Amino acid sequence: MKRIRKFAPALIVAAPFVILMSIFLVWPTLTTIEKAFIHNEELSFFNMSRAMSGTYKDSFVITAQLSFITSLIGGGIGLVMAILLRTLPVESRSRTIADSWSAVASQLGGLPLAFAFIALLGTQGILTKVLAAIGIDLVELGFSLTGLAGWALVYLYFQIPLMFLIMTPAVTSLRSSWFESATSMGASSWQFWRAVGIPILLPTIVTGFVLLFVNSFSAYATAYALSTGAGQLIPLQIRFILQGNVITGEDELGFAIVTWALILLALSLVAVTLLQRRVSRWAEQ
């Protein structure tokens, strides 16, 4: 009883959060997993197996490729931006513009972003017409906003600032005395970042990369607008099936695809946790 009384205030405060999590996260997740393993009203692995075959398997591969490419490029550019701007005062104009743009752009996805790129680089886009006038035909070159390269370009618009926001606090926390000590011993800026800065930041870099991967993998509205509702990305495949665009009785296939996506995302989170621990041990040595 004493323990219950001791933790009663914390339990009361946490209760609304636990209830909301249970209703909007735990219960839907468990229901989805349950339906994924039901076929013809019997427990079966049929739907899970089918979700990893044929067209659906290709969708997982393409989505993973897109997520990896945008995470790698977006993470690298975001990290470089954070490093280059670390020496600027917080109140400087360049730092203020970078912070403001990143805060807005990292959350600017979905239909507005897709329509902006369609107006810019679509078949009748402004930049497409300008480039065509000087002899550069994007269509003949094979570029399309509905392909892997087009998706990656659009996704980078919110992946880069997101990585910048993740890395800025970590980069800013690096002590200037470390850099001064390194330079006083004859090390160049590149040697400092290679031997000291990057190893210290590695846990945060890995975390940011995985977060960007998950963010890209689960993006829906932007891909939907760019592909006019049709496409090979996993979020679009899930929508296509769960909206009834399949043979009656095959709704479980959509739940199976969602379950596989949840498994892959969960494995990503486990992987980043293990990597963080390993990198932290290495950094302490």
Amino acid at 170: A
So what's the pLDDT on residue 95?
78
Which two tokens mark 285?
């040595």
So what's the pLDDT on residue 28?
83
**104-131 per-position pLDDT tens digit:** 887 777 778 888 898 988 888 899 889 8
So what's the pLDDT on residue 152?
92
CATH number of 55-284: 1.10.3720.10
Ordered by start, the domain boundaries in the chain are: 55-284
Residue partners of 284: CB distance under 8 A and separation at least 6: none
CA 183/CA 192 separation, integer angstroms: 8
**3 state SS of 64:** helix
**Around Cβ 217, how many Cβ atoms within 10 Å?**
22
Question: Is residue 75 a contact partner of residue 212, using CB atoms and an 8 Å limit?
Answer: yes
So what's the pLDDT on residue 145?
85
For the chain, give me the number of helices (H) and strands (E)? Answer: 14, 2
So what's the pLDDT on residue 198?
84
Amino acid at 268: S
The model's pTM is: 0.83
CA 228/CA 239 separation, integer angstroms: 12
Regions of the chain where pLDDT drops below 50:
none
So what's the pLDDT on residue 161?
92
**3 state SS of 39:** strand
Which two tokens mark 4?
């219950």
39 pairs with which residues across the strands? 42
Distance of CA 234 to the CA centre of its chain: 14
CA 112/CA 2 separation, integer angstroms: 55
43 pairs with which residues across the strands? 38
Outline where DSSP puts E strands in the chain.
Answer: 38-39, 42-43
